[in-house]
Homo-oligomer: A and B are copies of this chain.
């Protein structure tokens, strides 16, 4: 089996905990650095990248969004690419400067989803 390439597509903020768990379990299965992994957020999902925005919090109590951002940062340090659609950022009034350093902004999320699949990435919508 050649190296796996996986592209996760997220367009709802509430799905962040699920996708991060999916990625964590995937890395546990194949091993760190053994696959190319990208998460592309468009639509309301881009709010999950903003510190203090509270997106993705589903469990009662606690600082869940802070934990989500910490989990993203940790996965980023393991090579996972976190991308945001610029159109979605504009629509949700999010300044690019407000994003954590590990987030890559792409001009259009759909183009990114199409190009990565053309490059052989598997598409997964959690």
CB distance from A13 to the nearest CB of B (A): 14
Known: A108-B25, A110-B25, A110-B26. A115 touches B1 (CB 8 A): yes
| A1:B108 contact, CB within 8 angstroms | no
Question: A114 and B43: CB pair below 8 A?
Answer: no
Indicate how many identical chains form the complex.
3
In the complex, the answer to whether A35 meets B114 with C-beta atoms within 8 Å is: yes
From A9, A11, A115, A124, name the one whose CB has the most chain B CB atoms within 10 angstroms: A124
A107 at the interface (CB under 8 A from B): yes
The CA of A88 and the CA of B25, in the complex, are separated in Å by: 10
Interface residues, chain A, with chain B CB atoms under 8 Å away: 1-2, 4-6, 9, 11, 18, 22-23, 25-26, 28-30, 35, 42-43, 85, 87, 107-111, 113-115, 117-118, 120, 122-126
